[in-house]
Structure 1
Amino acid sequence: MENLIEKSVEQIKDRIEFWFLKYFNKTKTDFNGNEIFTLFELLKVELQTELKQRLNLERNEIPVLVLKISESEFIINTTKKFVRIDSDSTEIIDYSEFEWHNGYKSSVVDKEKKIITKHDGHFSEFGLRKTNGEIIYWRIPTGVPRFGFWNVTKKCELIGRKFIITE
């Protein structure tokens, strides 16, 4: 069994932000909160407040990243879990239950429309594999090259596997 590394919630927040910024090779000032995949703290305060009310955050938990799926649907990465929120439901996957991404369910050419689903403006089911083998599919934008959701959030399994949050 691996030794767990003690980290404060702020250190975990900083680690997730580091992964995000390193992937894009940018600094926080290069983002404005209007990106499809962005830093939670850059969202408009009203939207932050609305989303926090639905997140059921623990006392020592911070929202860090947000993927905007639509005006009413989001996936938020906190320091502890993935949370998918839409207009009438909330789904949670703790990082301790998260094993890896399975990627897009289908990245094949849509023969009727003659398009590849890995283009901006399209959506596809994206699999998050839990440690018990279950795969949860969430519909997300497929994005453009360097979209980053998979590349950044796949590392969240480290948080559940290697880190223990201290007060």
Structure 2
Amino acid sequence: MQKITPFLWFDNQVEEAIIFYVSIFKNAKVGKVARFGDAGPGPKGGVMAATFQLEGMEFTALNGGPRYQFNEAISFVVKCEEQDEIDEYWERLSEGGSTGRCGWLKDKFGISWQIVPSILAPMLVDPEPQKTQRVTEAYLQMTKIDIAELRRAYEGQAVAS
């Protein structure tokens, strides 16, 4: 049982968002869906709240109206092993949204994601400060993270511009 569950407040796009996320992640599924009845406050039959899972993590989503908006203060980190995995998540999640620096993007619903290679954290804490400095400098110049460029920086090879 997952002790802590992210709870996402949408205006009225829960169903669309869940379908979107479940289509992107390979290990994903829709859970329970609660719909509005005669008492409202949303349209009868519309989704009030739902649960879904992405890569074994359960989420709850609510159609709560326009009162609250997502921002970068909270983001979801997707750790990737290979460049093709980074590329796929980057392209799919940023579709209809926007991209930022250092592997950050916002999806079309306003949720922030960080698409990063799993090798980045160990590189940033390497005991050799020259390596961490080179990786940091390379990383800060990137929008979508390029694993080959990080490896070149780590090894002290020239980084492509």
TM value normalised by structure 1: 0.25
Larger C-alpha radius of gyration, 1 or 2? 2
Higher strand proportion, which one?
1
TM-score in terms of structure 2 length: 0.25
